[in-house]
Structure 1
Amino acid sequence: MTRNRADSLVTSIAAHSNGIDSQFLPGILDDAYLVEKLQELSTRLGDREAHQAPILESAAIIPDPYAKYTLFSERLGSHIHEYENIISQSQKVNNELEEAIKMFHDISTNTKTFVNKTKGMYDEYTRLSLLHEQIPRILEYFDALDPIMRRLNHASTSNVVRKNSFKNMMGNIDASLCFLEEHEDLKDAASYRIRFKRCLIKACELISSYLNHILKQLYVEINEKLMSSIGSSSASKEALLYNKFASLAEEYRGQVIEIISRVNKDRYQRYRDELGSILNDCYETYFQTRMRLLHPSIYQRLNEITLQDKKLLLINFIQDGKTYFQQLCNDEYQLFIKFFPESESKWKINLWFVQLCEPVYDCVRVRVLRESDISTLCDALTLFGQYYEFEEESEEYQKQFSQIRYDKVFEPIVQGLQTTLILRVQVYVHQNIVKYTPTKDSFIIANRKSSLNDLRSSKEKEDPMVISFMKSFQDQLGADNVESLESYYPPLVRGLALLSRIYEMVNSVVFDDLAHHIVHDCMLSLKTAYNKVQHSTNDLNNFEVKLAYLKNLLMLRQQLQNFNIQYSVNETYLDFSGMETFFKSVTAGARSLRFRDSSVLSLAKGLVPKVVNNLVDARSELMLDLRNIIKDFTEAAAKSVIQNTLIIDNKGDDSTLIQKNMLLRQNVEDKFPRIYAEICIYVKDKEVVSHLIDAVQEIIIESYRSFYEEVSEKAQSGQLDKVQSSEVMYDDVFAEFLSSVTGKLSSSSKDL
């Protein structure tokens, strides 16, 4: 029975191949369709065998023992033959598939090569197509140049800027410049950019010319009305100066913004200088126009203030001028922001305010230079204190001067006041401290009680600044404290009063320098008076003089703590010692020797003044003087108590030694309370008093200890009688005795 081969294995494999992209041949049993066909073939063979079996059985008469084997062999042979045909056909199909795969692989390689070759062409085609579409739009940026240049070159009047077409032209210039900035790789882009830049500058110049022209016309109109209305009320003049002038603001602002917006654009960074120059011309024309209109009224007002009272106090004169110009600046600022954008232009008008206020600067400068009273100058400076409360970088400062920076407007007046104040301070210090001639009475007599008339007469002669300081000092001490500044050295009081008055009136660095020199001059004058009194008295241990000196130094140290002073300053001066030495050598007849031993160059070098820098510390100077006077006083006080009681007689008289020891104890009991009471008269600080008493006590104890050691040594060597020497008070017993005496003094003072 012949098997139908319509659905052959080759046909099935060919129909279900994976195409040209297949790189391998699948196994026979991996194909689901092939498996299905094989199963169908096996089923048909089984049916045929089942059909032939009954025939064979019926035909067999004699059973064959090898019948099953023979049947199996036949079936196996048939199957082998069929499978060999299938394998042969499969091999053939496999060869054909390999050839097809190789062919399709070649096709794929050729296709990729073709794609790679044509991709660049495609990209270039795409780019050129896009460029072709953009060329008409790009050419618009270049084609716009000629019409713009013709219009700008043939503009007969600046009024052309009012047309809408002019604004459209400005927009075209901006667009072209922006495009050329972004596409610098285009051919002739740089030259076209320069031409468009010239067009931009020319257009802005036309706007500036138009704005300046309408301002001049407005000035002429307002000035004519002002001249024709002489004698009219100030309200009508103000209406002309502000209301009439503001009528032009809307039109002006709309045009000037065209310039300002381009000056502030980042993409116009390279043109900022030229555009800024055009904008500055607009500012200057506006400011000059306002200045010419305002000057007559400004000078009229200043004349009124000056002629109102020629004897007007400086502070009142400055107050009136300050009030007027403060209001003037405010009015001008409100008018200005109607013409110009506030955020971009307020810095410019703040600079102009300084120029606007120059008339008041000149008037105030003349009055200030004539003023000699320090208190008046300080009072005038306080008028501007509100403008200098905060640092320029602080948030409070920005809030305070968000519009008008009055600190810069009035800075020339403040600087003039401070300069004059410094000069007057230097004159005051020279006349009242440096040139002060001390007397014995001026140094210590004020510590004694004086009558009320004497106090009143001294106050009448004293400077009001000093009187005010003395009153403030008395208020700090309280009503119960009877101590007054009148008991202190006058130059010292004047120096402190001066420091208190000018504190925070000048720059901190300048104040530190002034304070250093004032303190130094005060201490120098105080030391001169102390030395003069010391040399005028026969009593070298005069406690009154030393305590008065100590009292003044303590008061100076206490008062200086109220000021935040940096005492160390650099003093620079010229040293002419070389020239002085030269002239001395000439007068001494050594001129020939000098020229013989030195060259002309070295001689000239020696005559040149030298610049010397010294670092001087007023605090160290004050503390040194305090230590010295405390040392002098404690040594003098101890000497007054000890006297000659600790001197061992060389004759070896033991009775005299015992008498001196008893005298020492008597002096301690008698003189120590007097010394303590005298200290308390001059020094009110209980802590300082205690330190002074302790210092005196320590010196006495150390002196007695040395004395006792000497007595013991001489008693051991036989120079003194040991029995009599034993009567001398032990050093530790004497220390306890002295401590008990001082302890009673301290307890009695506390009770008081």
Structure 2
Amino acid sequence: MFDQWDFLHSENEGLVNFSQPLNAFESSKPMANDQPPVKNLGSPIFDSPTSLRRCNSLKLLSPKCEQGAEVALEDTQKKMDWIEQDFESELLKRADIRIRELQAYSAFADGLSQKTDEIKQSLSSIKTSFLVSESKLNEFSETCNALGTEEEAFSRLANDIGEGLSYFAPLKELIRVFRHPPSDLVSRSSFRNYILQINRCIDFLEKNTDFQESEFYLSQYKRLLTQGFTMFKNHFFRLIKLASEQVAQSAKTMQIDKQLESSIFYSRFSAIALQIRPLLIEFKKSISEDTFNFTAFYDFYLQTRMRLLQPVLSSQIRSFFLEKSITSFIQKSLAILQLTFFDESRLFNEFFDETNEKFTEYWQNLCETFYEGSRSMILREKNLTDLCEVCSYIRSFQNSIAEGDREEIGKELATHLTPVVFELQNRVIFLVQATIDSEIQNYTPADDDLFPDMNKGTELFNLQNLGLNDVEEKVNANVPERLAMAQGWYPVVQKSLIILSKIYRLLDSNVFDDIALEIIHATIGSLMEAYEYFSSKNDPQIARLFFIKNLLVLKEQLSSFEIQYAHIQAGVDFKKIWDRVREWRSNLRGILQLAYETFPKFINNMVDSRQELNEYLRFAVNGYVETAAGSFTSALKAHDPNSANEFKHRLDKVESLHEQISSYLTESWIEGLLLQAVYEETAKYFRDYYNTLSAEDIQALETTELNHETNQNVSKSLEDYLDYIAVPFQRCNESLPNDKASI
């Protein structure tokens, strides 16, 4: 059955509670869960599944019930009409409420829009007022900036005026002070302030000549500066003179050898330098040396020091001169000069802040006694060893000063010793030239030189004891001489190497190269003369071994020296002049040619001493090898197989040849090389001899003594014979202590 209550209840559940007041904007908003959408009469109610189901149930009733159903339907229709009417009224109420809400919203929005317009107008008015205020504030700021700029300009102008007046105002006071100066004005601290103030005013007026009366004030200030400079110079001279008198008076009470050790020559002058130096520096900044003579300060100071030190220093150096030893004189003199130089240079810097040529000249004059004494002793010294030791000592002294932690002025002492080094080097060169002439070029060979006493235990080229490569580069002159005598070197070779070892590192490289090349050339020439002399009186082979040995010694030991062997030898060619003189005697054309070719022709020849040494060594070795091989092969005759018998007997003398070589050359590798060369020369000649033999001669050769020691039933080739010839040479080679050459 249709339940009316359920329908009404279900429909009334969806009605909105309209009892809420419309006094707020938020209360008028529909709620999502409380109020469903408004339903119309057509679909929301009667289209629901419940209504349709109920209507269909009415249609299925039986005919008996149709009348009752129609009545019920009418009642239902009436109820439905009433519900619709009630529902429409309810909708109208709700619509009215919505309208009132919308009207309230509209009124509120209108009020809000009106207030927004009012606020906008107020903001626009405020903006306009702000822009006006900003414009006025900018104008005020510009006015303030202009006033500030003017104030700064006036302030600068006032400062410039005050500063400008500060350069003109002191003139009156300075004139008053310098017109009647007190006697101790220069020694006061205010004097330096006056000079500083005058320099500042002069500098300003020279840069700003557009001031009124600037020329007048500038001339007045310069006059005051000149007057102050004159006062300072007189004060300087007075102090230096007073200190000199006090020092001289104090030195009279002391012994001469103790005066330089004391501080009396420096303490008083150092006290004066503390007072004088600031003023002198200030005057040098403001006054050019062209305007004022600053050299007067240097001259007076250095002359005063010269009068004080020269007698004492000269007396000390003369006392060293009396010892008659150049080594002692140089060492003691350099020791005292070094101390004096450092003290003098330091005192000079305390006064003048820098050295100049005046101090260099002063020191050279102060050392004149040392220069004269050293020059005299050097010229009288005839011992080359002592001169080399002195020269080496001075060079080491110079290097120690130049490389040490000294002031720059202290290092100048090394340059003042250069004249002494030049004198020593010239004297060394002179003595070396005299030694070359007397003991090398003019040496007369003696018979004992060919067979010297030799120590077999020493090697020919043992150069380690020479000490040429030591750190100090100092050579013990006795070592080369003892080594040379022990190994039987020719005296000329001994003297040459000893001279080179003494002067090595003492002379400039160019000078040493020239002397070394001259010594090498003279030594080779002397060896050649000795070889010719011994060849005429003794066995030429012995003379050749003598020549080879000494050339090898000279060549090997020269490698310890750094020598530029190649040099240019300049000369003058007068050949064309003499040719023109001879033509001039015969015709006029010769006179004209003589006029054109009056000057001689300068020629340059490249000379290599090493090449010269090698050529002589090659000449001696080849001569010895050819002669030694010829002593064996001279028995061989072409086309004569029987001559091999004599050749075989001569090969037995190879041992004698080895003894001859070892008697001169103690180096086993040199002996092996010579034996190898003799064998190769002998084998070469035998090969040529073998090629001259015919087949019959070769068969006959197999019957000679050269083939007796081998199997005669076997045919022998050339190589077999050469192996047989090599046997005695191999035995000699195997007997050598150090076999460095194999045959």
**Equivalent in the alignment of 1:213:** 238
Rate the CA distance shift 1:427–1:235 in 2: closer, same or farther, 3 A: closer
Other structure's SS at 1:243 match: coil
**Equivalent in the alignment of 1:163:** 188
- Per-residue Cα deviation, 1:32-88 (whole angstroms, up to 9, x for no partner): xxxxxxxxx9638969xxxxxxxxxxxx9x967623323432442343244234324
Pick aligned residue for 1:251 from 244, 263, 272? 272
**Equivalent in the alignment of 1:87:** 113
**Alignment of 1:699 onto 2:688:** no
**Alignment of 1:724 onto 2:700:** yes
Q: For the residues of structure 2 that align with 1:198 and 1:543, how far apart are their CA atoms?
A: 99
Letter in 2 for 1:551: K
Pick aligned residue for 1:552 from 550, 553, 570? 550
Contact 2:260 2:312 (8 Å CA) reproduced: no
The equivalences for 1:160-559 within 5 A come to: 160-172=185-197, 203=228, 206-219=231-244, 234=255, 238=259, 243=264, 246-247=267-268, 249-260=270-281, 278=294, 281-298=296-313, 313-315=324-326, 319-320=328-329, 323=332, 326-327=335-336, 330-331=339-340, 333-334=342-343, 337=346, 340-341=349-350, 344=353, 352-390=362-400, 392=402, 394=403, 397-398=404-405, 403=410, 406-434=413-441, 436=442, 438=444, 441-442=445-446, 445-448=448-451, 472-473=479-480, 475-476=482-483, 483-485=487-489, 488=490, 490-531=491-532, 536=536, 542-559=540-557
Q: For the residues of structure 1 that align with 2:401 and 2:348, how far apart are their CA atoms?
A: 31
Rate the CA distance shift 1:185–1:666 in 2: closer, same or farther, 3 A: farther
Q: For the residues of structure 2 that align with 1:98 and 1:751, how far apart are their CA atoms?
A: 122
Q: For the residues of structure 2 that align with 1:73 and 1:205, how far apart are their CA atoms?
A: 120
Contact 2:443 2:492 (8 Å CA) reproduced: no
**Equivalent in the alignment of 1:669:** 652
Letter in 1 for 2:652: E
Q: For the residues of structure 1 that align with 2:225 and 2:353, how far apart are their CA atoms?
A: 21
Contact 1:708 1:730 (8 Å CA) reproduced: no
Rate the CA distance shift 1:45–1:185 in 2: closer, same or farther, 3 A: farther
Contact 2:534 2:540 (8 Å CA) reproduced: no
Rate the CA distance shift 1:233–1:138 in 2: closer, same or farther, 3 A: closer
Letter in 2 for 1:568: A
**Alignment of 1:747 onto 2:734:** yes
Other structure's SS at 1:699 match: helix
Q: For the residues of structure 1 that align with 2:261 and 2:668, how far apart are their CA atoms?
A: 74
TM-score between both structures, scaled by the size of structure 1: 0.69
Q: For the residues of structure 2 that align with 1:244 and 1:561, how far apart are their CA atoms?
A: 54
Give the drift of 1:288.
Answer: 0.8
Rate the CA distance shift 1:235–1:726 in 2: closer, same or farther, 3 A: closer
Letter in 2 for 1:162: S
The equivalences for 1:6-155 within 5 A come to: 43=24, 66-91=92-117, 93-94=119-120, 97-98=123-124, 101=127, 104=130, 108=134, 121=146, 124-125=149-150, 127-128=152-153, 131=156, 134-135=159-160, 138-139=163-164, 142-143=167-168, 146=171, 150=175, 154=179
**Alignment of 1:628 onto 2:619:** yes
Q: For the residues of structure 1 that align with 2:203 and 2:725, how far apart are their CA atoms?
A: 99
Pick aligned residue for 1:648 from 627, 638, 653? 638
**Equivalent in the alignment of 1:593:** 589
Q: For the residues of structure 1 that align with 2:135 and 2:688, how far apart are their CA atoms?
A: 121
**Equivalent in the alignment of 1:22:** none
Rate the CA distance shift 1:172–1:79 in 2: closer, same or farther, 3 A: same
Rate the CA distance shift 1:120–1:555 in 2: closer, same or farther, 3 A: farther
Q: For the residues of structure 1 that align with 2:409 and 2:513, how far apart are their CA atoms?
A: 32
Q: For the residues of structure 1 that align with 2:688 and 2:599, how far apart are their CA atoms?
A: 57
**Equivalent in the alignment of 2:52:** none
Letter in 1 for 2:717: Y
**Equivalent in the alignment of 1:678:** 660
Contact 2:644 2:701 (8 Å CA) reproduced: no
Contact 2:333 2:370 (8 Å CA) reproduced: no
Contact 1:314 1:376 (8 Å CA) reproduced: no
Aligned-residue sequence identity (percent) comes to 19
Rate the CA distance shift 1:546–1:295 in 2: closer, same or farther, 3 A: same
Other structure's SS at 1:415 match: helix
- Per-residue Cα deviation, 1:687-735 (whole angstroms, up to 9, x for no partner): 1111111122222223333443454xx54xxxx5564366685332233
Rate the CA distance shift 1:75–1:65 in 2: closer, same or farther, 3 A: same
Give the drift of 1:512.
Answer: 2.4
Rate the CA distance shift 1:368–1:643 in 2: closer, same or farther, 3 A: same
Contact 1:470 1:484 (8 Å CA) reproduced: no
Other structure's SS at 1:43 match: coil
Q: For the residues of structure 2 that align with 1:236 and 1:548, how far apart are their CA atoms?
A: 60
Q: For the residues of structure 2 that align with 1:513 and 1:112, how far apart are their CA atoms?
A: 94
Give the drift of 1:156.
Answer: 6.3
Q: For the residues of structure 1 that align with 2:277 and 2:599, how far apart are their CA atoms?
A: 61
Letter in 2 for 1:515: A
Report how many residues are paired. Answer: 626
Contact 2:320 2:328 (8 Å CA) reproduced: no
Q: For the residues of structure 2 that align with 1:582 and 1:622, how far apart are their CA atoms?
A: 39
Rate the CA distance shift 1:449–1:561 in 2: closer, same or farther, 3 A: closer
Other structure's SS at 1:563 match: coil
Q: For the residues of structure 1 that align with 2:556 and 2:250, how far apart are their CA atoms?
A: 67
Q: For the residues of structure 2 that align with 1:276 and 1:475, how far apart are their CA atoms?
A: 69
Q: For the residues of structure 2 that align with 1:236 and 1:628, how far apart are their CA atoms?
A: 66
Letter in 2 for 1:43: A
Letter in 2 for 1:432: E
Contact 2:185 2:191 (8 Å CA) reproduced: yes
Rate the CA distance shift 1:512–1:193 in 2: closer, same or farther, 3 A: farther
Contact 1:553 1:626 (8 Å CA) reproduced: yes
Other structure's SS at 1:750 match: coil
Q: For the residues of structure 2 that align with 1:149 and 1:579, how far apart are their CA atoms?
A: 84
Other structure's SS at 1:616 match: strand
TM-score between both structures, scaled by the size of structure 2: 0.70
Moved more, 73-82 or 551-560: 73-82
Structure showing greater radius of gyration is 2
Give the drift of 1:745.
Answer: 1.0
Q: For the residues of structure 2 that align with 1:330 and 1:275, how far apart are their CA atoms?
A: 37
Rate the CA distance shift 1:120–1:200 in 2: closer, same or farther, 3 A: farther
Rate the CA distance shift 1:503–1:352 in 2: closer, same or farther, 3 A: same
